[in-house]
Structure 1
Amino acid sequence: MQKRLLAVAVIAACASINTQADIIGATAGAYMWKQSWEGNVQSGSDSVDMNDDLGYDDETGKSFFVAFEHPVPVLPNIRLQRTDLDISESNQLSRTFTFDDDVYTAADTVDSTTDLSHTDATLYYEILDNWVNLDVGLTVRVFDGEVRLASTGREGSIELDAPVPMAYVNARFDLPLTGLYASALGNIISYGDNAVTDMTVGLGYEFGIIGLELGYRNFDVDLEDDDDEASLTVDGYYFGVVIDI
């Protein structure tokens, strides 16, 4: 009798472990992002154009994420993502402008760096989980960057290092029996004259636990703080690998 009870307990424990394995999961991904930069920044009375004044063009960045989901209904799932988003250039000016109380004159060579790199911490709930997957939640995006200009005897900067709360929506549509899927992810906030919009759409193919994804990401930033302003767009295509366990 005791042996029977022990066997039943072992079977029940195994079934419980298998059930937990089905509903506790992790997803990780890594992307290479071909970035096109445009826009302008301002620290004072003059607007500085990213392309015409600073000579910005294209850059390649990386992004990594990991997400954990669990079976407890009242507790949110968590997603962490890091995006490298920076560009540096040296360019000879064709005009004179003022930036951060310094005057940069025509024919000066200006070294500049714009860094919008950030870390996202997202708490979200899974609303749908079948061939249509839908997650909604809140992202806190922490920027650790700046816009910096330097020439002989002059250097000025705008700091971009504030945490920004953003609405989070992540949807995925699986085409049954094919391994193909489409995805869309958005982080958005708008308040006063400030707005941050980060939208990603992709197409992927999944075989086993591995997925290959090709898509497009558009990142818009409009920030204003007294005489400091930044209106930037970074967009372009990406290729990524996703592992879902």
Structure 2
Amino acid sequence: MKILKISILALGTGFCGLAQADVIGVKADASYWFYDGKAQVQPKLNTSSLANQTGVDNLLLNPYAGLSAPEEKLDRKGSAQISLAFEHPIPLIPNAKIRYVNLKSQTEKEIAGQPVYDLNIDHTDFLLYYEILDNIVDADVGLGATKLNGDIKTLNLSKIDIDKTIPVIYGSAGVKLPFTGLSAKAELLYSNFNDTKITDAQAELQYNFIDNLLVDVGLKAGYRILDVKFDDYKSNNVKNDLKFDFKGPYIGIDVHF
């Protein structure tokens, strides 16, 4: 009899948990990222013969060819970043998430009135992931691709077009403080593939000021670090080693339906 009572109680608890679980969920967030960082474009030594040749738009293919390029500090700038995730209870089929930010900045240092480097890059992540924990502690793991599209100008004389899609691994972990509306979360994207290395990490604190069965809405603040390195990146038949990183705090709003 005791065993039967325990079994019924466990079954009832399971059904209650199922009733409260999300059948289909949509998560959206928008934030503003205040970043600075560094950038470097290092021409390959074997391209020195191209130092005075021009490419598209009559821009020099390699004004620093044969020289040691400096690593320069970027101005403090800011940009909106957004993400949208779709989650469901269907077994074996992963959840999906997309993240986007436009990275636009230039170096503090100028020569003849022109910034040493001027960057304008669209950064988009396409992610597929599984929830391995979903309670007070939650955790996700998955795979995806990061697409970088834009350009880097050097002294407004040369331009390197960026158009690259890189496979990445993805993970996130979070914890909720019950009955307070407070939570903490960390996310990481990483890739070291085919002469390209990306590390994209962020951590945040969130407070939900609306928390009910229909929608959760919260304010959040966090810090993000993005580091990108390309070895032997080829543009206009010229190879360069590229390195740029962005880091800084962000604030935003998160909505979960």
Short-chain TM bin: 0.7 to 0.9
Aligned mates of 1:234, 1:178 — CA distance in 2: 33
Aligned mates of 1:82, 1:69 — CA distance in 2: 18
Aligned mates of 2:225, 2:161 — CA distance in 1: 22
Q: Which amino acid aligns with 1:110?
A: Q
Aligned mates of 2:109, 2:201 — CA distance in 1: 30
| 2:143 corresponds to which of 117, 138, 163 | 138
Match of 1:182 in 2: 184
User: Measured at CA, do residues 80 and 92 of structure 1 come closer, stay the same or move farther in structure 2, by a change above 3 Å?
Assistant: closer
Q: Which runs of 5 or more residues in structure 2 are unaligned?
A: 1-17, 44-64, 234-238
* Structure 1 residue 92: Cα displacement: 3.5
Match of 1:99 in 2: none
| 2:83 corresponds to which of 57, 65, 69 | 65
| 1:206 corresponds to which of 205, 208, 232 | 208
Match of 1:97 in 2: none
Q: Secondary structure at the match of 2:180?
A: coil
Match of 1:36 in 2: 36
Q: Which runs of 5 or more residues in structure 1 are unaligned?
A: 1-17, 94-107
**8 Å Cα contact 2:75/2:108 also seen in 1:** no
**8 Å Cα contact 2:75/2:106 also seen in 1:** no
Match of 1:196 in 2: 198
Matched, 1:172 2:174: yes
Matched, 1:238 2:250: yes
Aligned mates of 1:92, 1:21 — CA distance in 2: 56
Match of 1:219 in 2: 226
Aligned mates of 2:91, 2:31 — CA distance in 1: 30
Identity %: 32
**8 Å Cα contact 1:127/1:133 also seen in 2:** yes
Q: Secondary structure at the match of 1:75?
A: coil
Aligned length: 208
**8 Å Cα contact 2:170/2:189 also seen in 1:** yes
TM-score w.r.t. length of structure 2: 0.74
Q: Secondary structure at the match of 1:178?
A: coil
**8 Å Cα contact 1:41/1:50 also seen in 2:** no
Please report the RMSD computed on the Cα atoms of aligned residues, expressed in angstroms: 2.3
Matched, 1:50 2:50: no
Aligned mates of 1:205, 1:68 — CA distance in 2: 21
